Structure 1
Amino acid sequence: MCARRRPGTPDGPDTPDTMADPVADPMAGKTRFDDIYDLPDPRSYFSRLAPYEYEIPHHAQGVFRRTLAARRAGSPPGPRGDGAGDGFTVLDLCCSYGINAALLNHDLTLADLYAHYAGPETAELSTSELIDLDKEFYAARRRPDAVRLVGVDTAANATAYALAVGLLDEAYAENLERVPPSPGLARAMSGVGLITVTGGIGYVTHRTFDALLDCVRLPPWVSAFVLRTVPYDRIAQSLAAHGLVTASDPARTFPQRLFTSAEEQRDAVTRVRALGLDPAGLEAAGRYHTRLHESRQRPGCPA
C-alpha cells in the first residue's frame, strides 16, 4: 500500500489515456483506491476489492512461507535459544491492514479473509467490536511456526488495526521516501532477515530500500511481487549496492486483479510494451500481472 503518490507528484486526477514516463511515474494510470487504504478497519478494503478479484496476497502466501523457511534454515538460533524461528523478524513493506501477516502466520486463506470481512457476520460490528473479535479470530488460527513480524506503511489507521489485533509485533506508519526511519524502526531492522512486499513497488522506490538497508550491517533477503507495468531495475541496483543479488523468472507471472476500466487496461498494456514485455494473454486478457523478484546475499556472504 504505502504512499499513493511519489514525493512532489501532484495529487490531481489520473490521466490514463496519456501515459507518463513509465520510469518517472509508473502508477499514473492505475486506478486509485485511496478511500479504503487508511480506514480504522479492513472491511471496506475487502468489499471494495472483491469485485476486481484482488488476489496477489494469495499467490504470495506460499512463496513467502517457502522463502521464509529457506531463510530460517540459514539463520543461527535466536536469542531465546529455542530454534531457528526465534529472534528472526520479517518486515512487511506497505503492510496495510496486515494481510500478508495474516496469511503468513495463520492457518487462513485469502478467501477466508474475504468471507470474514466482506460477509454479513462482521458487517454490523463497530470497529472496537471487530478488533475484539479479531484478536480471538487470529489467536485461534495462529501457526506454531509463526514468525515475528514488523509492518511499515504510511497508513496510520491501517497499521494501528494490524497491531491491535495481533497481526504485527511492531508497526511503523512512516514514509521512507521522504524521511529516514525513526529510531524505533531503525532498531527493529537489526533483527530483520526477510523483507516482503506485494503491492507497494511503484509507490515506494529505491529510496525506501536504501533507507531500510542503511540501518543494518548484513542485509536481509527481499521477496517482492512487482507489477509488470513497473520497472524494478533501479531497486535491484540499490539492493546490489547492499550486497544482494536479484533473480526473477520472466516467464512466470502472478495475477494481481482485474482492471477497473478499459482505460486502466489500455494504460497497462502500453506500459508493459514500453518495458519490452508482451501483454498477450496477460494484461491484454484483462488483469494486472506481477513478477516475483527474489534478492539474496551473494554466494559466500554470511546469511
Structure 2
Amino acid sequence: MPYDTTGKVTLDHIYTQPDPRAYFTTLRGLDYCVPQLAEPHFADLISHLHASLGRTVRVLDMGCSYGINATLLNGGATMAELYHWYGDPDAHAMDHDALLDRDRKRFADHRKRARIVGLDSSQPALDYAYTAGILDDAVCADLETNELTELQRAQLSGTDLVISTGCIGYVGAQTVTQLATIDEDRMPWMAHFVLRMVPFEPIEKNLSALGYEVERVDSLFRQRRFVSDEEQAQVMDTLHAQGIDPHGLEDTGWLYAQLHLCRPPSSVDSTAATDNVAGQHLRQG
C-alpha cells in the first residue's frame, strides 16, 4: 500500500472512479468524519458573509472530490446518510446512469446556502458532482504545477470563501496563493482543515505577505481512523520529528486536523465572524 511523505496511506484510487460508491465504501470503514465536523463552521462563515455582503456567497471547495462538502452545506445531507445512500445494496446494484439520476432527484429540491464551485484534479469526480447537481460549477486543474487559465480564472472570479477538508498536503502554497489572488481588487476568506503532520507554514507565509491574518484555532478535529498500525506508526514518527505531541490524539488511533482561519486584509466584519466560528469550534471540536 503506497504512503505519502508524511506516512499517510495514499488512497488515490477512490477519487478517480466514475461515481462515489468506492469513495464512501472505503471511507466508511475508516470512520471518515471531518466534513461533518467542519460543516457548522463553514455554514457559520457563509451566514456572516451573506449578512455582510447582502447576496449569495460564492464558495470554492478546494480538493472537493465528489462534492462532499457541498452535499452537506447545500444538499441537507449528513455523512451517515451519504454512507448509507451510496453503500447500501440497492445503490451497488444500480448502473452509473441510474445512480446519477437518483442523485439528481435527491439534491434538486434543497434551498442552497451558497453557490459552491469545486476545484479538483480528478475529472471523473468533478464530472459526477457537477452532472448530479451537487456542484454549481467545476474546475479541473493541478495548480501546483500549472497556472490558472483565463477561462478558469473567469469561472473562479468573485469567490468569497475558499474551504478545504484534508487536501492541504496534496496541494500547497502554490495552489492557495493562486486562489487568493484570482481577483486583483479583492481576496477571499479561507477556512482550511489541515492534518496536524502537514506543515501549514509555507501557506501561512505566502498569505501573510498578501496581508492575510491567519488564526489557528486551538481545538482539534478527528479526520479518520488509521488504515493500519504501520500508517499510525509512520504518522507518529512524522509528528515526533516535527516536535508535535501525539499523546491522547494520534496515539489513540485517529488522524487529527486543525482549523486554519484566514482573513483577507479587506475583510468585512472579520472580528465578529471569526470569533463566532472559533467559539463554535471550541464547543464542538
- Are the counterparts in 1 of residues 75 and 112 from structure 2 also a CA contact under 8 Å? no
Question: Deviation per CA, 1:236-263, whole angstroms, max 9, x where unpaired?
Answer: 111112221110123x100001101111
* Residue 68 of structure 1: aligned partner: 46
Equivalent residue runs for 1:262-281 within 5 Å: 262-281=229-248
2:142 equivalent in structure 1: 175
- Tell me which residue corresponds to 2:180: 213
**Is 1:161–2:139 an aligned residue pair?**
no
Of residues 258, 265, 270, the one that matches 1:291 is 258
Q: Which residue of 2 aligns with 1:223?
A: 191
**CA distance in structure 1 between the partners assigned to 2:254 and 2:163 by the alignment:** 22
Shift in CA distance, 145/132, structure 1 to aligned 2, threshold 3 Å: closer
Residue 95 (1) aligns with residue 64 (2): yes
SS of the equivalent of 1:162 reads: helix
Q: Please tell me whether the aligned partners of residues 93 and 151 of structure 1 are also in contact (alpha carbons under 8 angstroms).
A: yes
1:37 is matched with: 15
Alignment deviations for residues 90-130 of structure 1 (CA, whole Å, 9 cap, x no partner)? 00000000000110112211111001001122111111111
* In structure 2, C-alpha distance between the alignment counterparts of 1:145 and 1:128, rounded to whole Å: 24
Cα distance per residue 1:11-43 (max 9 Å; x no partner): x944xxxxxxxxxx744x111112111111000
Gaps of 5+ in 2: 269-285
- In structure 2, what is the equivalent of residue 147 of structure 1? 114
In the comparison of the two structures, how many residue pairs are matched?
Answer: 267
Q: Which amino acid aligns with 2:76?
A: D
Deviating more after overlay: 269-278 vs 63-72: 269-278
Equivalents in 2 of 1:40, 1:226: separation in Å?
Answer: 27
Whether the 8 Å CA contact 1:229–1:268 is kept in 2: the answer is yes
Matched to 2:26, the amino acid is R
Shift in CA distance, 26/241, structure 1 to aligned 2, threshold 3 Å: farther
TM-score in terms of structure 2 length: 0.89
Given that 1:256 and 1:288 are in contact with CA atoms closer than 8 Å, whether structure 2 keeps it comes out as yes
2:203 counterpart residue number: 235
Contact 2:120/2:142 (<8 A) preserved: yes
* Structure 2 match to 1:108: 77
Change (3 A) 1:246 1:302: closer
CA–CA separation in structure 2 for the residues paired with 1:66 and 1:146: 10
Shift of 1:178: 0.8
Aligned residues of 2:162 and 2:190 also touching (Cα < 8 A): yes
Q: Which residue of 1 aligns with 2:86?
A: 117
SS of aligned partner of 1:192: coil
Identity %: 36
In structure 2, C-alpha distance between the alignment counterparts of 1:264 and 1:161, rounded to whole Å: 30
One-letter amino acid of the counterpart of residue 64, structure 1: F
Q: Bigger shift: 41-50 or 185-194?
A: 185-194
* Structure 1 Cα separation of the partners of residues 66 and 267 of structure 2: 33
- CA distance in 2 between counterparts of 1:13 and 1:99 reads 24
Whichever structure has more helix as a proportion of its residues is 2
- In structure 2, relative to structure 1, the CA distance for the partners of 1:148 and 1:247 (3 Å cut) is same
Shift of 1:184: 2.4
The answer as to whether partners of 1:93 and 1:197 remain within 8 angstroms in 2 is yes
Give me the TM-score of the superposition, normalised by structure 1.
0.84
Specify the code of the residue in structure 1 equivalent to 2:88: G
- Cα distance in 1, alignment partners of residues 132 and 199 from structure 2: 35
The amino acid that maps onto 1:240 is S
Give the Cα–Cα distance (whole angstroms) in 1 for the partners of residues 5 and 190 of structure 2.
21
For the 8 Å contact 1:95–1:151, the answer to whether it is kept is: yes
* Residues 63-114 of structure 1: per-residue CA shift (max 9 Å, x gap): 1101111222222x3xxxxxx22xx310000000000011011221111100
Where structure 1 has 5 or more consecutive residues not aligned to the other structure, the ranges are 1-11, 15-24, 78-83
